[in-house]
Each structure stands twice: as structure tokens, then as C-alpha cells.
Amino acid sequence: MTDVDTALWRSDLELIADAARKAGKVALGYFNQSPEVWWKNEGRSPVSAADFAANRKLESILRAARPDYGWLSEETDDDAARLSRETLFIIDPIDGTRAFLAGQDLWCVSVAVVRRGRPVAGVLYAPVLEELYEAVEGGVAFKNGRPIVVSTTALDTPGRFAIAEDVLKAFPDALKNRIERVRHVPSLAYRIAMVADGRIDGTFVKHNSHDWDLAAADLILECAGGQLVDLQGNAPLYNREQVSHGELCAAAPARLADLITGIGRPRGS
């Protein structure tokens, strides 16, 4: 990465952080106000007027500022032209819509700049909690302006993991005894941010997460010293034709092997 690249990504980070805050303010205007809700993906996923309004705010700011960048958002019809762009924005205007609609605070605006398949700038903004996570490629991760790092909990101490009970049951006892389950965190992006700031040691990501759920959080975790990988240890690539992903693990390096080993066992074995 050149000095020119670094300067550009830092400029992009300032841009997306400002846009995320403004979109978060828009979303807050609908919070606890019973916004209109529709259902997508054959009735499995809610989307609200707040999602669309926050998406419009992000699109109006970001596309005007970087008209040569591609665009991929959960709430915008996909445009295959993005595949021809080396750089693009990947957006989730509200990650954790179910939590948002239930009046819970664990939801966030997720904005990433992706270059050649990997994030180079990323922001997560949780308006109710007044938390801003941000990172740029090659730098450190920040939460509200302070550097964050992943947990350094010793391996002989039980680690705290966000993982479904049915998944944990398949772990061998030796691994299971080193894991303390934490309560469900409805926003996947925020859950990965919790790994980045050391509140939990790791999390399992079920198959069918999407680029917009992951890209910003992935970079923040990486810059905090953690990793998001598939069961073969490979980091996800973004802006492919297929934007969904298989099973993934996010953790501090010392805990990652145990998590991959446990997840990789056949269910019920």
C-alpha cells in the first residue's frame, strides 16, 4: 500500500464516518415510532421505512462524493456494474433491523469501502449507544476515538463466545469446557465489533451472511488484531457475483483454532 493509497483511504474513512452518523440520526427519527414494515426473502427478513430512509441518506452523500465508486447495499437493487469497479461502497443502513423494530439498542449503521475484494476503510455506528467503530487498512481500530484490541484471555480460562447452543453441543467436551456462551447479539456486525473490542473472545457466523453484514466489521476486527475466516482459515472476499458467505468464525488469534475445530466437526458427532 502506497502513501497515496493510505491518504485516500483515510479520506474515505472520514467521509463514511460522517455519512454513518448522519444516517444513524435519520434512523433514530424512526426508532420506537412503529415505522412501516415490509417482508423480504420469502417473509424471513423485515425491512422498515427506517432502513430505506437511512439508505437514501447514505446514497445521497456517498455517491455524490465518490461517483466513480461502485455501490452494494442491502436495501438497493443490485447492479451488476459494481463487478467492474475496483473500489465500491458496501452498505447496511441498519444491521439488526429486528432489534431496531423491537426497541433494542444493539443495531448499527455499517459502511465499508472495499478495494479489489477486501475492505480498506470501515465504520460501524450504533446511534442509541453513541458508539463509533472505525478502521483503515494498515492502521489500528478505534472505538469513539480510542484504540481497541481483541481479548488476550488465557487459554486455560473459559472464553466468552457468541455461539448458538445447538452448534456448541457438537463441540468435543475438551473444547466445550473452555467456552462460556453469551446472550444472543442480534446485529452480526456489532457482534463482530464486540470481538474487536475484547468484550467477547469470538463468535460463529452461520452460513448465508452477506457482504453488507461483514465488510466493515471484518476490517475493524482485523485492525484490532483478530480474524474473520472460513473453516479453511481463509478471509472472505467481497464484491463477487455471489454476495452470500458460508460458515465463518471471528475470534482473537489464540481462540480461533479451537473455534474452527469445534465448528468443523459434523453436527451431532
Q: What is the pLDDT along the chain (269 residues), one digit of tens a residue?
A: 677 788 999 999 999 999 999 999 999 999 999 999 999 876 688 999 999 999 999 999 999 999 999 999 999 999 999 999 999 999 999 999 999 999 999 999 999 999 999 999 999 999 999 999 999 999 999 999 999 999 988 877 889 999 988 888 888 888 888 889 998 899 999 999 999 999 999 999 999 999 999 999 999 999 999 999 999 999 999 999 999 999 999 999 888 988 888 887 655 43
Which ranges of the chain would DSSP assign to H, the alpha helix? 3-28, 49-65, 97-101, 165-168, 173-176, 188-196, 211-223, 253-264
Residue 266 is given by DSSP the state P
The dihedral of CA 261, 114, 46, 18: what is its sign?
positive
Q: How buried is 63 (Cβ within 10 angstroms: 0-12 exposed, 13-18 middle, 19+ buried)?
A: middle
The answer to whether residues 177 and 87 touch, using CB atoms and an 8 Å cutoff, is no
Q: What is the pLDDT of residue 269?
A: 36
Distance CA 48, CA 190 (A): 19
Among 267, 238, 235, which Cα is nearest to 248's? 235
Number of H helices, E strands in the chain: 8, 16
Q: What is the pLDDT of residue 261?
A: 85
Distance CA 68, CA 84 (A): 11
Query: CA dist 126 to 31, 88, 100, 191, 212, Å?
Result: 12, 22, 11, 12, 16
Q: What is the pLDDT of residue 262?
A: 86
Look up the pTM and report it: 0.95
99 phi/psi in degrees, rounded to 5: -65, -45
CA torsion angle 152 92 44 26 (round to 10):
110
Q: How buried is 56 (Cβ within 10 angstroms: 0-12 exposed, 13-18 middle, 19+ buried)?
A: middle
Q: What is the pLDDT of residue 28?
A: 98
Distance CA 110, CA 88 (A): 14
Q: What domains, with CATH codes, occur in the chain?
A: 3-148 (3.30.540.10), 159-264 (3.40.190.80)
Q: Which three cell numbers stand for residue 151?
A: 481479548
